[in-house]
Structure 1
């Protein structure tokens, strides 16, 4: 756990509430190794949590008021009551965090959990607007804080589901379950193969000599305002054409055989999802076996499919993938990760190639704005839970 982050959240709590918290919890961000836009199609994804987190310091109140301070936004304070309607705020962009908090609390209440008031301070170091699920980390951390404060008999899977409900219904982004589930349930040292229909999870060991390299293109993306919801609608239309509940239920042979009069665009969207599901299952096997040549090939195929069939990459992202593939060769792979239209590239590569990858990116890449890319070397992290206060108080 990042000590500067802990110091910051404790300072915010003390400055805002003139007290020390009774509990601190964390929830990690995530990077998806393969399996993009398959989650809301009831398919398979293979993310890993990263060692960038949201922390929530908390103490209970003896009334129905919730007070939340955001360290990352100049200690902005939001206050609302549990016994009154919880409504979204319409305000400045730097107030968007409020709706993720309020939406999660409302989802907990709507699910029947008898919440009491609380004072919360929030701080995070998950890069925002980069496709690394800073929003899911915030939602999961808020639910985890109430679970810990009140000793709720609330499963980690249910936390993820309620966090997803908050984002879908309160914030207005129709994301799938992947981001919240990996944040809530991940295992240190492992990726997590998730069946997004059953919510079954299988840890997949990642060799310790393989680095998870995340490169932020500095092309910012925002899912609520992007074409993410449009892609989801196109997938649902394709599933309806084939008469299946979700594209998860198609294989490639049936995809081709039943095309009929399905328009070209919807068919290509469906082809990406169907082939990506197969690639994700193959990738879990390759990763578990330490077969990085196979894993790299599958990541390359995934990127091409996102670029050509799903059309969610942009030229700076394609350039970053090409630079990384040139450095890594057959020893690993690189692909766009996240919702698309900017954000990040993820690479799996031997630790001894990290320096060369950094150098190549610094020498060959600039965002359209002229900015250099940001590079993060990550390690698969544990999922949400309490953090020991010993040594920090």
Structure 2
């Protein structure tokens, strides 16, 4: 952050995410590590997806919300061409690498400090973009990273880090990078360097989210429509504490399965396949592939209906759509877990027609998102405390969140 340059929405989002004592301790830690105060502190939020999972890389619709939690990157310029990074939340683990052309071209994955691969990948893609567009190359920087997103919970801590890094470099070196390009570079870092074939949703909502709004994003052309969230419903995120690891999981397999169905229809993505077309081809498709595609095609329709339900403040309709989305992810796309199913069932039983709950994110663990009236919050908390550990052996972490602003520095 630079004094005097924050909008009211940015200031509110930042104050919701981090208190003054936290940020003061962070900047003091940077000064102690590098012998100078940071020139700036960049922030980017995590996200929760209300509905529309595994539709983004199929060029469909998604409906995420930027959270009032995220990642901070404190940064200062260096006199050399080294990137030095300290991960405050990893016991101040330090990593450094060179920006010279050979080092960038041959940069390996870091198996010792895997978190640094998101830094390395982002810097590599940003450097290539600057070269392509004729902008001056990056120079060295000292960086410190911290945040308050639970790691491995499906709230896009990696995308948040990527967007905060790009904002930090843009601020340090006066780079011309808009939100869409920043999101594309972050996605490229994950796809081409880290090895996770994610879509662009996570990066784009982190870069361009708006407070009190969900982002209806058309992933085919990146058209954005901001949808007001109902004031009558609160946003709750429940971490199942089943840790996710999308790289090396079945996430990439799901993408391959969707591509096979698109190839069967002779189109580039499942966005171009209608529900009627898919059902007519059911007998010709391998059953697993049919189910994967059925989730994507039906989920796209649910996203558009959910945007209407949010605008109308129709909590019963919201609940029905979230329930249908969860069933589809569980049964057709097979990315839920028994623990996450348990949480969804517990919350849904309490809510009835007053809102809804579903798994959120890539799956294989992680979080449940719920939209619920304030008067149901205490009962949901009590029910989870009483039942979840008894049924699964795990404890759940519950976060009441607000929608926040996108990345800034």
Q: Which runs of 5+ in 1 are unaligned?
A: 387-393
User: Which stretch has the larger CA shift, 51-60 or 367-376?
Assistant: 367-376
- Please tell me whether the aligned partners of residues 319 and 355 of structure 2 are also in contact (alpha carbons under 8 angstroms): yes
Matches within 5 A, 1:128-147: 128-147=151-170
- 1:248–1:274 contact (8 Å) kept in structure 2: yes
Q: Name the residue aligned to 2:3.
A: none
What's the offset of the Cα at 1:291?
Answer: 1.2
Counting only pairs closer than 5 Å after superposition, residues 23-38 of structure 1 correspond to structure 2 as 23-38=40-55
Which residue of the other structure, out of 337, 361, 370, is the alignment partner of 1:347? 370
Secondary structure of 2:198's aligned partner = coil
Q: Which residue of 218, 232, 236 corresponds with 2:241?
A: 218
1:160-175 aligned at under 5 Å gives the runs 160-175=183-198
Q: Does the 8 Å CA contact 1:8/1:71 hold for their aligned counterparts?
A: no
Query: Offset at 1:157?
Result: 0.8
- The answer on 1:373 being equivalent to 2:396 is yes
What are the superposed Cα offsets for residues 331-377 of structure 1, whole Å, 9 maximum, x if unpaired?
Answer: 11000101111111100001221111111110110288733100011
Partner in structure 2 of residue 17 of structure 1: 34
> CA contact under 8 A between 2:339 and 2:392: conserved in structure 1?
no
Tell me how far apart the structure 2 counterparts of residues 375 and 179 of structure 1 sit (CA, whole Å): 21
Question: Bigger CA drift: 362-371 or 263-272?
Answer: 362-371
Contact 2:232-2:313 at 8 Å conserved across structures: no
Question: Which structure 2 segments of 5+ residues have no match?
Answer: 1-13
- Equivalent positions of 1:53-72 (< 5 A) are 53-72=70-89
Runs of 4 or more above 6 Å deviation:
none
Could you report, residue by residue, the CA deviation over 1:286-306 in whole angstroms, capped at 9, with x for unpaired residues? 101111111111000000101
Equivalent residues in 2 for 1:151-230 (5 A)? Answer: 151-230=174-253
Superposed counterparts of 1:308-387, under 5 Å: 308-366=331-389, 370-386=393-409
Say whether 1:91 aligns with 2:111: yes
Residue 265 (structure 1) aligned with residue 285 (structure 2): no
Deviations 1:283-328 (A, max 9, x none): 0111011111111110000001011111111111111101100111
What is the TM-score of this pair, normalised by structure 2? 0.91
- Report if aligned partners of 2:58, 2:258 keep a CA contact under 8 Å in 1: yes
Bigger drift between 196-205 and 265-274 goes to 196-205
**TM-score (ref. length: structure 1):** 0.95
CA distance in 1, matches of 2:171, 2:311: 34
Deviation (angstroms), 1:204:
0.7
Deviation at residue 151 of structure 1 after TM alignment: 1.6
Shift in Å at residue 210 of structure 1?
A: 1.4
**In the alignment, is residue 278 of structure 1 matched against residue 318 of structure 2?**
no
The residue number in structure 1 matching 2:68 is 51
Q: Deviation of residue 136 (structure 1)?
A: 0.7
Relative distance call for 1:154 and 1:259 in structure 2 (3 A) is same
Per-residue Cα deviation, 1:118-153 (whole angstroms, up to 9, x for no partner): 111110111101000111111111111001111211
1:260 is displaced (CA, Å) by: 4.7
Shift, 1:158, TM fit = 0.5
Separation in 2 of the partners of 1:27 and 1:285?
28
Change (3 A) 1:168 1:280: same
Partner residue, 1:254:
277
Whole-angstrom CA distance in 2 between matches of 1:38 and 1:233 = 13
Structure-1 residue corresponding to 2:4: none
- Structure 1 match to 2:329: 306
1:102 aligns to 2:120 (yes or no):
yes
1:71-115 per-residue CA deviation (whole Å, 9 max, x = no partner) reads 0111111111211423134333xx111110010000001112521
What is the rounded CA distance, in whole Å, between the counterparts of 1:272 and 1:229 in structure 2?
A: 16
Aligned to 1:390: none
